[in-house]
Chains A and B, each alone.
Chain A
Amino acid sequence: MPVASANPLRSGSDAMSIIKLTNLEKSYGALKVLRGIDAEIGEGETFAIIGPNGAGKTTLFKVMTGEVPSNGGRVEFDGKDVTHDPAYRRARAGMGRTFQVARVFLELTVIENVIIAIEARRKNTGDSDDAWYAVVSSRSVVDEARQLLANLDLELKRNTEASILSHGDKKRLELAITLAGRPRILMLDEPTAGMSPSDRIGVVDLIRRLRDESRLTIVMTEHDMSVIFGLADRIMVMNQGARLAIGSIDEIRSSQVVRDVYLGKESQHD
């Protein structure tokens, strides 16, 4: 079984593509937020979407995951048209995602958060050995949750209420919830947004680990260029709802168009 490696030279077309976007459009009233986006993301690839604020990154994310419906075009996942599937169907098919501001179940403890996610997956895949009326989760569910938390350095905080976790811990818990669904593709919306530099390094390491150790395809939007250049196989640059460029890190780095529109601006901001 081939384990996908981080190969910066590989392009989307010669790998098995797991996501294919065709002429994707989205508008809010008269405002066109996405103007016909085309992209293919290969299995096992780490794919980054970048662009200045308001470029449509998050909207593209929402349309891909089914959070909002598109106004035109197609989203294909694993060869199947999922354009009209609601979010939960795409999640069942193997799309896992995180949000820009970590969304976890604040009133529940850390381990309860993960248990709910594991139980949801087991129910959907039909490999649940618990009866629906079981008040206490079965041993195997709890063990799986603790294993997952241990992988993400949250084991010690498993009985803490999620609402009092730090920002970075919430992000990691959200990742744990997402991974509990055993997704085939991990979609991270600005995984390092609003983090302290040390937390940021931790998250980048974590993503790298996921990329290298499992066969996960990772799609991420990101603001911080240093994060992207350390992680991504390929990059798509967006501006004003359109695709500006797509290619390997080197191709993007050397692209004059990108430099004009995005990199120049970004360096001024930083």
Chain B
Amino acid sequence: MSRYITYCLVALSGVLLLLLPLLVNPGLVHLAGVTLVMGVFAVAWNLLFGYAGLASFGSGGLFSLGAYVMAISLRAGYEQSFLLLIVLAMVTGGIVAFLVGAVALRRSSGIYLAILTLAMAEVLRQILMRWHWIGAEDGLPNIVRPHFSYGLGLIDLSSGARYHVFLCLACGLLIAAIWWIAHGRFGRTLRAIRLDPERAAFMGVNTYGYKLAAFTLSGVFVAGAGALYAPLAQIVTPDLGNMLRSTQPILFTLLGGASSFWGPLIGGFLFSAIEYGTRTLVGLQEIITGVILLAVVLIFPTGISGAFRKLFASLEQGEPAPARKVEVSDAGRLGKPLTQRV
């Protein structure tokens, strides 16, 4: 039953987003667009985390890679092939992610993988910052929103509202593609690997291969989100790939719940709403965000969607569903966990 409710809610929010330019002012439409792109980014990141159990802290690098590919091509005048440029950005992201993953996944996991990916994204950012051909620290401003024709006639995305509609459709397509990957046999196998990589290996699953494939696919979609972001913001800077950017999908995902496919999107919009609501409060914004995150980690480790699922389950069965995934317990004795986690 809750599955149909989910689908209805997704469809409803999709329609609402699409019609947003008719309902609210352009500023809010822009914010919704940014949130949507970041939401796709987070969903793509969660393909790696929630399904394959790998936490990359350098996905901001792939995002900025996609944005730069798009920005450079648009400024070079390839407006006409806009749709192809998105594909080009995604392919580039996939290739880079594949190369990074092929090396990094063989040698590291957990914290080491997190730091390794963080450092790789930082290398990219440092290079972008010093490279004068692409604007160095100032980045590339004045990116045009394209208008192009594909047989049927001219498609003009130059106004904010039109680009928003295009963005909604494109993001919808990307999300649908990720949904397919996550829910098919590939996604099922990934989940098995996250839950117990050794057990999966003894079923004959090449866990390294699957992880690498997930890493690559995640890179494809993250770069795709970046490519859609460039014409939306109309400026790209090296800071697109900084540490904060890389941690954003993580925040969205954990806020919304990693064990749910829609969690990162829910988290993204919630996060944006909080940021928007507190935008005039300097300093308080971070504090409120931080407190909410802490509350999520300490009280609802399954995120908002997990909390809702628990609620649903308790409504249906009259008792709370068993807690999943993490147990956040109050370690009475400090020494004890150390012996367990060596």
Contacts and interface: CB of A to CB of B under 8 A. Distances in A.
Interface of A: 65, 67, 86-88, 91-92, 95-97, 99, 103-108, 112, 115-117, 119-121, 123-124, 130, 132-135, 137, 161, 163-164, 177-178, 180-181
A177 B322 contact: no
Contact of A105 (B186, B196, B324): B196
Given A105-B196, A108-B195, A97 B185 contact: no
B325 A88 contact: no
A159 to B, nearest CB: 14
Contacts of A92: 204
B195 A106 contact: yes
The 4 closest A-B pairs by CB, nearest first: A91-B204, A92-B204, A87-B201, A105-B195
Nearest to A162: B195
A48 B205 CA distance: 27
B183 A135 contact: yes
A172 B183 CA distance: 27
B196 A103 contact: yes
Interface in B189-212: 189, 191-192, 195-196, 198-207
A120 B205 contact: yes
Contacts of B183: 135
Interface residues of B, number: 26
B205 A177 contact: no
B184 A132 contact: yes
B211 to A, nearest CB: 12
A163 B195 CA distance: 12
Contacts of A178: 202
A163 B188 CA distance: 17
B191 A88 contact: no
Contacts of A115: 188
A213 to B, nearest CB: 22
A184 to B, nearest CB: 12
Contact of A164 (B195, B198, B322): B322
Contacts of A137: 185
A177 B191 contact: no
A96 B202 contact: yes
B205 A88 contact: yes
Interface string B298-324: 000000000000000000000000101
7 contacts: A87-B198, A96-B202, A105-B192, A105-B196, A130-B185, A178-B202, A181-B203
B180 interface: yes
A231 to B, nearest CB: 22
B60 to A, nearest CB: 29
A86 B199 contact: no
Contacts of A132: 184-186
Contacts of A181: 203-204
A129 B221 CA distance: 28
A112 B185 CA distance: 11
Contacts of B196: 103-105
B185 A91 contact: no
A116 B204 contact: no
B184 A65 contact: no
A119 B189 contact: yes
Nearest to B183: A135
A121 B203 contact: yes
B184 A135 contact: yes
Given A88-B206, A91-B201, A181-B204, A120 B195 contact: no
Contact of B204 (A124, A133, A135, A161): A124
Nearest to B182: A135
Given A88-B207, A119-B189, A133-B184, A105 B202 contact: no
Nearest to B259: A107
Contacts of A117: 203
Contacts of B198: 67, 87, 103
B189 A120 contact: yes
A134 B185 contact: yes
Contacts of B202: 65, 87-88, 91, 95-97, 178
B210 to A, nearest CB: 10
